[in-house]
Structure 1
């Protein structure tokens, strides 16, 4: 098989797997009313069918990338696909909310393995001259999966049973497994030992932080079940940072954290994911609760928004080289912030769809640029051997950004409005959208500070170049 043919197959296998995992982030949201009737679940249990996936996914992302670097990215990626596929089947067979929650937990573990390792496998397989386009396309696949989740879920619920939203993963997973075993190349990261203490510390710290943020949407920030795990998580993460300074095989190499380009790129990713997807969380409810669209109808009307990344992502590989990734990332944040500001200005209980459409298109273009370029910008500041860890950090920051964004914007919404009436919902939505606009304006400022050109690669680049090349072949 030629190098080019192998890289195309790697992209297809990794891209489909990442799309599948990203899809399940939000696909279950439109099935919640049906789940409540069929399984007799409480409102809090229903919320956890969404949140437990997000929680486990965010907590395990970085650890999965580290394990892949140590024991072989292809091998661990295949294990992730097995876990995700088996858990999807278990969710489709679930007869109680407890079984469904357990299956969603395992799904989250599988997704946390698939997404960072899939990106690293693509970057490793693709020749340097096509790497930008490959990363852009891969980011577009993830963005498309997240964006189409509610729409696909709505379509499955309308024309079938809720179990179908999980069964659609099973044939994909079964097809991916032999293809991954046959066509993916094996590679490893720069260290040959796993930092068990550091891995456990960062998982525990992220668990406390993300768990508290998820609970804040229903309990408020002052509840002990919210601030206690957040504080505990921050303390454990501080302990992780201290340990990493003297760890012989650190989970996150300290020179990466000191890199201005790497740190700011991840900050931008966190802010954009938080500001935009926190707003999406509320806007999708606005279409259903205020404008009275069905889940499927609401999904259809968001297609001008969700499909724009499909059109934009393929172009970013070319324009990223000509205009520079930093310029396009700044444009991405500005476009998304402008879209939220537009929504805040025009939304009312009787707003017409035609007034929402321009904001959807602009937001979709901005999201397309972001999904395609966020990972590429981060990887520009690391050596090839460190791309697995860098991918895990970037994905973890983006996932935590979603949790923070939903928590913060939902808190603003609840303070100024509520679900009692269309007017109350809009009263809360307005300040929440302005808060999202402010977050994206901050992201734009941070994007401006990212170095235009990558700094020299970290020290691991020289020491592992030969071993990495050998692993790649």
Structure 2
């Protein structure tokens, strides 16, 4: 059916709102950790699961939800996800203990897994090749605005209200997106194909076990029975999933996409970038608050240059993308991001905010240039009948990179902090900077507090140096693997000749 340009723009706003609610939620929670842990009596382990339970549910269900959206309707699945996300956000705001909050976060992860693949798949099926790059740029710009604006909003909400307000803000956004989607957005599906229940079970169990193993790695190490069992289950389930998908007549995931060098190269580059980005906000907000003594609101405001630079470079990239192709944009943007992480690695308290602000400015400019181009090139290779699961593949790749980044950088940060602390300090003070400063306050030991701040700064520098190396590796990979010129962003291939139906997608009003 024909959809006018003005209506497509309104639908794009709905898709951006749906994405915004997910991004804002993850970011505002980073600045809510100190007051939340104090109010609920949450220890470090509780905080880890409050943050990671969402990722566990989200990453584990992405591929399945993408397949469900192709089969049952992308709008329908997105609306169900928004309803779940909004209701669980309200429950999280009312949580009275860590267990209740963790449970609500799991349900929010399920809702998020239903939302994210649907938004991107609707976008790439609704907009043609001429408009898709601009639409993806707008979508990426909104996501970046939420990424950076989240801590600012979170700090303001905590200052004005209480930590639960960071969850309450999700409810009106989700409700508005649901109403707008039902009124404006046509339903779209992929061609009918037989369900793949075994593929869904294997992918969900394998991805959940893999994320679980990554989460537990910093706490227990690779040889602990919990970590080893989760890793073994992940390997067995995901290997069985790949073997099954290769022989299944109607696979849930088109693994043939990875034969395309643009898709596979873009995927691996995005993974490396997300590994580098994984712990950025969580690490830096701790530095700004614990080491420099900024309030949550002030810490959030520090990220504004990153948002401004990202939005400006998003707009510039949209104009240049069709002329120079994806590869130059991606490589240049990633190199700039690596320089930004390098500046953050050189940050020290005596230098104040100069280096953090400059580093975040470069990260925003590089990310705004590279990420939309990488996603556009990757998604441009996905056939429309697989738009939902193709979008889920993209999301899964990035989530796995982010989870690996959080685990790896968290491990580096924790080990580096402990190693840099004086051996004479109490064990509790050597666990984390929060514990170190708390112990110093209780004992009135100013020397211990200073040692904790210096130890955290040293550990943070090591973590950001690793991030710089990861993003630089992604730039080299993109330069080697991605096709040159405009070919990297060429239109997605047509449906295979043996597809159950010749139509790439169907769209009907409901």
Q: TM-score range by the shorter chain?
A: over 0.9
Which of the residues 429, 440, 463 maps onto 2:460? 429
| Structure 2 CA distance for partners of 1:155 and 1:457, relative to 1, 3 Å | closer
Which residue is equivalent to 1:445?
476
Instruction: Establish whether residue 164 from structure 1 lines up as the match of residue 165 from structure 2.
Output: yes
Q: Equivalences for 1:46-195 in 2 at 5 Å?
A: 46-195=47-196
Q: CA deviation at 1:308?
A: 2.2
Aligned pairs (5 A) from 1:371-382? 371-382=371-382
Alignment partners' CA distance in 1, 2:374 and 2:113: 18
* Residues 383 and 504, structure 2, Cα contact 8 Å, conserved in 1: no
Looking at structure 1, the residues matched to 357 and 97 of structure 2 have their Cα atoms a distance apart, in angstroms, of 40
TM-score after normalising by structure 1: 0.94
Q: Whole-Å Cα distance in 2 between the matches of residues 358 and 456 of structure 1?
A: 37
Change (3 A) 1:132 1:459: closer
CA shift for structure 1 position 219: 3.0
C-alpha distance 458-4 of structure 1, shift in aligned 2 (>3 A): closer
Residue 342 of structure 1 aligns to a residue whose secondary structure is helix
Shift of 1:29: 2.2
Deviation string 1:289-344 (CA, Å, 9 cap, x unpaired) is 21111221111112112332222223322111112111111112111111111222
SS in 1 for 2:247: coil
Kept in 2: contact 1:385–1:464 (CA 8 A): no
1:381-440 Cα deviation digits (max 9, x unpaired):
222222222111011111111110111122223333343512211221222222111111
Query: Unpaired segments of 5 or more residues in structure 2?
Result: 419-432, 437-451
The offset of 1:87, in angstroms, is 1.1
Q: Is the 8 A contact 2:348 2:457 kept in 1?
A: yes
Q: Structure 1's 108 and 307: CA in aligned 2 closer, same or farther, altered over 3 A?
A: farther
Pair 1:415–1:166, CA change in 2 (3 A): closer
Contact 1:375–1:391 under 8 Å retained in 2: no
The answer to whether structure 1 residue 17 and structure 2 residue 18 are counterparts is yes
Shift of 1:111: 0.9
Residue 26 (str. 1) matches residue 61 (str. 2): no
CA distance in structure 2 between the aligned counterparts of 1:16 and 1:121, rounded to whole angstroms: 13
Q: How many residues align?
A: 472
Distance 2:64 2:270 in 1: 19
1:64-118 C-alpha deviation (Å, 9 max, x unpaired) = 1110001111111111111111111221222232222211111111111111111
The 1:470/1:412 distance shift into structure 2, 3 A limit, reads closer
* Residues 213 and 227, structure 2, Cα contact 8 Å, conserved in 1: yes
Q: What residue in structure 2 maps to residue 391 of structure 1?
A: 391
Which residue of the partner structure matches residue 339 of structure 2? 338
Deviation at 1:457, TM superposition (A): 4.8
Question: In the alignment, which residue of structure 2 is the partner of 1:309?
Answer: 310
TM-score (norm 2): 0.88
Q: Residues 348 and 470 of structure 1: is their aligned pair in 2 closer, same or farther, counting only changes over 3 Å?
A: closer
Question: Which structure is larger by alpha-carbon Rg, 1 or 2?
Answer: 2
| Whole-angstrom CA distance in 1 between matches of 2:306 and 2:244 | 44
Q: In structure 2, how many angstroms separate the alpha carbons of the residues matched to 1:193 and 1:407?
A: 37
| Alignment of 1:460 onto 2:495 | yes
Whole-angstrom distance in 2 between the partners of 1:185 and 1:67? 17
